[in-house]
A and B are shown apart, each in its own frame.
Chain A
Amino acid sequence: QAHLEESGGGVVQPGTSLTLSCAASRFSFSGFGMHWVRQAPGKGLEWVTLIRSDGSNKFYADSVKGRFTISRDNSKNTLYLQMNSLRVEDTAVYYCAREVAGSAFDVWGQGTIVTVSS
């Protein structure tokens, strides 16, 4: 069964950087678009960014555009999220998710917690 596992979360100060990783296993990672979705404490789900299967196209939510960068290494079956200039409002659980049918997330990771606080 396809599996995703996030790592790299932690407690950081505003203005600093953090990189999240998402390790994929038990499926052909290079054949799927991948996304990051986040959930602030007690809040709903917010789509953050996506990257196409070959890394050719990337899209971002306005709230993170210019600060976050999504990337992938298909040889390592790993998705990344480089987060710069972090703000208190970036505090959330960050999930990576696999896209299917051009329209849905059929596999989710367990999430990694990012806390931005002074």
Chain B
Amino acid sequence: EIVMTQSPLSLPVTPGEPASISCRSSQSLLHNNAYNSLDWYVQRPGQSPQLLIYLGSNRASGAPDRFSGSGSGTDFTLNITRVEAEDVGVYYCMQALQTPWTFGQGTKVDIK
């Protein structure tokens, strides 16, 4: 099983400031040297999870352009250029390279 490790687990943020979350996998998520099977989700309070980034760096339809994903192999980052109040929630990375698909522990983002 591929283990996903996120940091930090708690991230107080200031609106208008940038923020980033790190995700590390226990083995490379690079598939056929072509793409990384790594996604980012946000679960806002009381809601179902929502896809933000897929295949490492592709922004999902409807995801604001202040969100971006980067990284390759075993180290990935979700960046928010300027945090907005609506960005509070828990952020998860997930690997889809092999079953069982596995999630990180989640990073709780809240406003300072």
Contact = CB atoms under 8 A, between A and B. Distances in A.
Interface residues of B, number: 26
Interface stretch (A13-21, A24-32, A45-53, A74-82): A45-53
Interface string A88-118: 0000000100001111111011110000000
Contacts of A47: 94, 100-103
A61 interface: yes
A105 B103 contact: no
A50 B48 contact: no
A101 B100 contact: no
Interface of A: 35, 37, 44-47, 50, 59-62, 95, 100-106, 108-111
12 contacts: A35-B101, A45-B49, A45-B94, A47-B101, A47-B102, A50-B99, A50-B101, A59-B99, A103-B37, A103-B55, A106-B61, A108-B48
